[in-house]
Amino acid sequence: MATTLITGGTVVSSTGRAPADVLIDGERIVGVLEPGSRLLGTDVAASVDRVIDATGKYVIPGGIDAHTHMELPFGGTAAIDTFETGTRAAAWGGTTSIIDFAVQRYGERVQDGLAAWHEKAAGNCAIDYGFHQIVGGVDDDSLAAMRSLPDEGVSSFKLFMAYPGVFYSDDAQVLKAMQVSRDTGMLTMMHAENGPAIDVLAQQLVDQGKTDPYYHGIARAWEMEEEATHRAIMLAKLTGAPLYVVHVSAKQAVEQLAWARDKGQNVYGETCPQYLYLSLEEQLGAKSDEWGSFEGAKWVCSTPLRSREEGHQDAMWQALRTNDLQMVSTDHCPFCMKDQKELGVGDFRKIPNGIGSIEHRMDLMYQGVVTGEITLERWVELTSTTPARMFGLYGRKGVIQPGADADVVVYDPNGHTSIGMGKTHHMNMDHSAWEGFEIDGHVDTVLSRGKVIVDDNAYLGAKGDGRFLKRGLSQYLI
């Protein structure tokens, strides 16, 4: 097997940084060495097959995006990124592992949903991948099937308090599923919005002729997120289940999570780049010659963008600093404007919910380092180390240490990245939600299990490079 030495860089972990060389043998890291070290009297650099010069750059563990939706059926269409295109875009952006969501809906078997996602992903991924299980139809059969998921390497499942008629679970169903979580140690992931109330508000807005994309966020008011988050926390407390709330966007929902954690409850949350950088006001003002006021459909996602005037974005950054939120994922669920988002022209309820960000998460979060929102170490923790710990991958992923998979990113803080169509955009979309964003940094080299898959602005990976990750139980619980 080939050996590689990454030399001259600064290795950054969640706890510190130091000049060090990283020695890789085949697919694993075998040493983190003092710069210029000699092993058994031999110059290491002279004895390896390949040397990567990281002088002046950061050497970090590959990013882990723990919330993606490749090929997800939604709203009469499906997310436009396949496992091939989506994982290739992830690699370009310094993400070397994803955890996607296998889907079970009403009337379907959990086992069949998981098998369908294995079929979609197998042999198509550029990077390593795992699965969470969406349980959209909680009944006796699915509850029994859920108990065998950890044996399949699937140690977390997702429920929805939103989307009645599609994925929605009522409180009784949530309670029963959380009892399985308690018994098995699986992590309950929750889409926390009051779906039935949101549907009433949305219908009332449409009846008033308020149909533009902006009203998607008005219907999904922050009160609906705060209430559902509190309810999920109470059900988790009652059952003793660990809880992870996905795509947190409202500062009031963060307050609920912080309150529960202060009482010692195993309750965690993630946010996404869109809730740190984008706002409801900008969505309202978005207009273009091609799409007019429908331009704002690019940023229709659930939970929705929140008001900047109300301080939600600042609150998300603060929660990341204080660990009231533990991770940043993307909720990558991309749809084209043409033929997909435009299904909602004249009725925001019909716009497929989702934003494409998998290629840009590492860069967008690094810009938070540049602007002083988070530290360099916290950047690594939020985007790699904590995702690995939260979802049962730590030691193998999320860290640069002997024995870990050689998933490594060489990041140039003196480089520059312009985001947008025709710039850095390899996702399978006809627009960029991040058009015009400028990043004071650049992903230079990406290794996945020791193989260089991105280097010097060239993609060197291949379909099928990625392998399925059988995950253990969460390593983050208290």
> Per-residue pLDDT tens for 229-243?
999 999 999 999 999
- Can you tell me the mean pLDDT for 29-46? 82
The pLDDT value recorded for residue 41 is 58
The pLDDT value recorded for residue 82 is 98
The pLDDT value recorded for residue 337 is 96
- Which residues lie closer than 8 Å to 122 by C-beta, 6 or more apart? 468
Q: Please, is 40 exposed, middle or buried when counting C-beta atoms within 10 Å of its C-beta (0-12, 13-18, 19+)?
A: exposed
CATH superfamily of 62-391: Metal-dependent hydrolases (3.20.20.140)
Tokens representing 418? 């312009």
- Can you tell me the mean pLDDT for 43-68? 95
C-alpha distance from residue 282 to each of 299, 353, 420 (Å): 10, 17, 17
Residues 171 and 178: their CA atoms lie apart, in Å, by 10
Listed range (1-5, 198-202, 225-229, 466-470) with the worst mean pLDDT = 1-5
Tokens representing 1? 């097997």
Q: Mapping DSSP to helix (H, G, I), strand (E, B) and coil, where does residue 325 land?
A: coil
- Which residues lie closer than 8 Å to 264 by C-beta, 6 or more apart? 478
Q: Do domains 3-60+399-459 and 62-391 have the same CATH topology?
A: no
The pLDDT value recorded for residue 422 is 85
- Can you tell me the mean pLDDT for 5-30? 97
Query: Residue 209: what residue type?
Result: G
Q: Strands 42-43 and 438-439, how do they pair? A: unpaired
Contact indicator for 157, 132 with CB cutoff of 8 Å: yes
DSSP state of 64: E
C-alpha distance from residue 87 to each of 55, 162, 215, 424 (Å): 28, 28, 32, 15
Q: Is the pLDDT of residue 38 over 80?
A: no
Residue 189 pairs in a beta bridge with 158, 244
Per residue in 133-148, pLDDT (tens digit) is 999 999 999 999 999 9
Which residues of 250-316 form beta strands (DSSP E)?
Answer: 267-271
Query: What is the DSSP code string of 201-266?
Result: HHHHHHHTT--STHHHHHHT-HHHHHHHHHHHHHHHHHHT--EEE-S---HHHHHHHHHHHHTT--
Task: Return the CATH fold of 3-60+399-459.
Answer: Urease, subunit C; domain 1 (2.30.40)
Q: Which residue has the tokens 């380092």?
A: 369
Domain boundaries, the chain: 3-60+399-459, 62-391
Tokens representing 414? 């003196």
DSSP state of 384: I
Residue from 126, 101, 135, 235 nearest 178 by CA: 235
Q: Which residue has the tokens 């934003």?
A: 355
Q: Give kind and range of the element (H or E) at residue 141.
A: helix 140-146
Per residue in 113-135, pLDDT (tens digit) is 999 999 999 999 999 999 999 99
What is the CB neighbour count within 10 angstroms for residue 142?
24
Per residue in 439-453, pLDDT (tens digit) is 999 999 999 999 999
Residues of the chain with pLDDT > 70, as a percent, come to 99
Contact indicator for 22, 59 with CB cutoff of 8 Å: yes
Work out the angle at residue 154's Cα, subtended by the Cα atoms of residues 150 and 155, and round it to the nearest 5 degrees: 65
What's the distance, Cα to Cα, between the start and end of the chain in Å?
40
The pLDDT value recorded for residue 46 is 86
Question: Taking all residues of the chain, what is their mean pLDDT, rounded to a whole number?
Answer: 96
Dihedrals phi, psi of 187, to nearest 5 degrees: -90, 125
Q: Please, is 392 exposed, middle or buried when counting C-beta atoms within 10 Å of its C-beta (0-12, 13-18, 19+)?
A: buried
Per residue in 375-385, pLDDT (tens digit) is 999 999 999 99
Q: Is the pLDDT of residue 167 over 70?
A: yes
Q: Is the pLDDT of residue 227 over 60?
A: yes
The number of angstroms, rounded, from the C-alpha of 334 to the middle of its chain's C-alpha atoms is 13
Residue 459 pairs in a beta bridge with 454
Q: Is the pLDDT of residue 40 over 70?
A: no
Q: What is the pTM of this model?
A: 0.97
